[in-house]
Amino acid sequence: MPDITASLGLLSSPAILFFFVGAAAAFARSDLSIPEQVAKAISLYLMLCIGFRGGVEAREAGLQSDFLTAGALGLTLSALMPLLAFILLRWTSRLDRPTLCALAATYGSVSVVTFAAGQQHLTALGLAPGGYMAAVLALMETPAILTALVLMHGAGREPSTGRGVVLREVLVGAATVMLLGSFLVGLISGEAGLKKLDLFVNPLFQGALCFFLLDLGLTAARSLMADRRKLTWPVIGFALGFPVLSAGVALALGRLAGLGLGDAAMLAVLAGSASYIAVPAAMRVAAPKADPGVFVTTSLAVTFPFNLVIGIALYTAAAVWLWA
């Protein structure tokens, strides 16, 4: 089992606590709010930092065969699992399309904090994954968002609208340009570029993240107060079951591809996680009608604690059994 004390420590990180401060303020009907333009600017800033650091990590990892294999599997999972999530949610929920697509993206993308907890757990068991798995984490943050945007724009287009127009809407949207553009900048500039921007993309990132999650807490709680029927039992069941399914698919692919035990277990932890930073930041810009009361609340209040207390240990045990 994972270290419960360490798990509680992760749950009590400042950024996550600010989410609950925002939610509590909303439930108390406080007039606390973050101006819309400020919130949008913070979202763009977070995407810039995420993309840039991901590019630096990918460059540092180099072209090792293990990294290329794990990276290819991670990209595949992040791009395709939202399609499965979308289909399952269409069958089991009555969510509006923007919220459904945002929820699919949430469970195709990854959680940095869950990654850190998984790395700690595996290292304690003597199954430490390769350092390049941090780059795999970075690679898995964006494809799910792009898939969700294609689903959202493609399904909602007029019959006369060509696929080229839909792809253009997705590829030149603010979220995509910021994520992919900053990733390329990080990839090209590498460690030297990171040294120049270290203060901007590292220490300041945590403060901005606190503001961002405070605003998400306010928005999510107010959305739930307005209509609690959206967070249905099927949606909660999805938030618990889909991560286990994703982790199982990751382990199967890792076994077929010949990944080492530690790397495969870490890939399963990533696949079983759910984003509460990258996806909300992107959806605030690209899909403002998506309801954070559903896709943020399920990620932070359901899947995140489940993974810390049960999921990580479950995925690790399954990996050990498969590789035995």
Whether residue 29 lies inside any domain: the answer is no
In a domain, 28, yes or no: no
Does 210 map to a domain?
yes
In this model, does residue 125 exceed pLDDT 80? yes
When pLDDT is averaged across residues 163-187 and rounded to a whole number, the result is 73
> Exposed e or buried b for every residue in 229-238, given b needs 16+ CB within 10 A?
ebbeeebeeb
Judged against a pLDDT cut of 80, whether residue 176 lies above it is answered with no
Residue 164 lies in a domain: yes
Instruction: With respect to residue 24, please indicate whether it lies within any of the assigned structural domains.
Output: no
| Whether pLDDT at 113 is above 70 | yes
Domain-embedded: residue 27: no
Q: pLDDT digits over 201-229, tens only? A: 888 988 888 888 898 888 878 877 876 67
The C-alpha atoms of residue 312 and residue 309 are separated, in whole angstroms, by 7
Between 82 and 47, the more confident residue is 82
Provide the number of structural domains found in the chain.
Answer: 1
Of the spans 55-59, 157-161, 314-318, which averages the highest pLDDT? Answer: 314-318
3-state helix, strand, coil in the chain (%, to 5): 80, 0, 20
The CATH number for 275's domain is 1.20.1530.20
Across 163-306, the runs of DSSP E, i.e. the strands, are none
Q: What is the mean pLDDT of residues 149-153?
A: 85
Domain membership of residue 286 (yes or no) is: yes
The answer to whether 275 and 106 are in contact (CB under 8 A) is yes
Domain of residue 111, residue span:
4-19+34-323
Residue 20: pLDDT band (50, 70, 90) is confident
Domain annotation covers residue 25: no
